């Protein structure tokens, strides 16, 4: 549940980028940091990385400024995707308001995408949260691989694998080139804000 401080007129939203290992979660945040850090006056904190792998998590807070008299603060987190860091993933999910599931479009990653989504479902259950109720956006990442000649999974297949029951919006993206990275973030923030209203009602 979002943190709403009426006295200070502040709303904190926590958004977590979830997905299989090396799927591009940190790359998403790095793109936003590189291109928009001046506009949103923020800096990214990477806690414990080992080579190109996130061991603990990345944290990227930023401020949307005053909207309707309220100060909206967004906290973006990533989790380590590797299967062995499940405890860390669960920890990062505590108090989450919205989730971006970064699925890898590489042909070899089909099974890992499904397992990661199941893992998300289980970890949310640990906090009594229902994956069907939490704001969630799918990002099908690494679409640029097709241009380089690598085989990728068709978007319909990915949607069928991951989104058949959840029926959430999915966006095809390339975190490396920045394609639709901002759109994904915009979508999840909008959905999360709308969800606060539903929760309070």
> Binding residues for other proteins, per CB under 8 A?
4, 6, 35-36, 39-40, 64-65, 67-68, 70, 72, 84-87, 114, 117-118, 121-122, 125-126, 128, 130, 132, 155, 161, 164-165, 167, 169-172, 178-183, 185-187, 189-190, 193-194, 196-197, 200
Tokens of 146: 């097709």
Compute, in degrees rounded to 10, the torsion defined by CA atoms 97, 189, 184, 103.
Answer: 0
Nearer to other proteins among residue 106 and residue 184 (C-beta): 184
CB-nearer residue toward other proteins: 16 or 137: 137
The CA–CA distances, whole Å, from 17 to 92, 148, 162, 198 equal: 10, 26, 16, 22
Neighbouring residues of 24: CB distance < 8 A, sequence distance ≥ 6: 102, 104, 141, 142, 175, 176
Choose between 40 and 145: whose C-beta lies nearer to other proteins. 40
DSSP strand pairing (98-104 vs 70-78): unpaired
Closer to other proteins by Cβ: residue 103 or 171: 171
Q: In the complex, what is the shortest distance from the CB of residue 194 to other proteins, in angstroms, rounded to a whole number?
A: 5
């Amino acid at each position: 549940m979002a943190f709403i401080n009426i006295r200070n007129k502040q709303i904190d939203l926590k958004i977590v980028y979830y997905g299989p290992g090396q799927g591009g979660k940190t790359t998403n945040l790095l793109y936003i940091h590189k291109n928009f850090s001046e506009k949103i006056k923020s800096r990214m904190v990477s806690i414990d990385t080992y080579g190109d792998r996130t061991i603990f998590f990345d944290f990227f807070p930023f401020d949307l400024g005053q909207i309707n008299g309220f100060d909206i603060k967004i906290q973006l987190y990533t989790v380590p995707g590797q299967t062995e860091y499940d405890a860390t993933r669960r920890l990062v999910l505590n108090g989450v308001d919205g989730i971006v599931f970064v699925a890898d479009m590489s042909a070899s990653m089909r099974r890992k995408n499904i397992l990661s989504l199941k893992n998300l479902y289980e970890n949310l259950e640990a906090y009594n949260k229902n994956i069907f109720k939490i704001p969630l956006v799918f990002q099908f990442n690494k679409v640029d691989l097709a241009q380089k000649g690598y085989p990728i999974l068709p978007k319909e297949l990915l949607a069928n694998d991951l989104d058949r029951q959840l029926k959430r919006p999915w966006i095809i993206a390339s975190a490396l080139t920045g394609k639709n990275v901002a759109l994904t973030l915009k979508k999840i923030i909008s959905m999360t804000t709308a969800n606060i209203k539903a929760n309070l009602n």
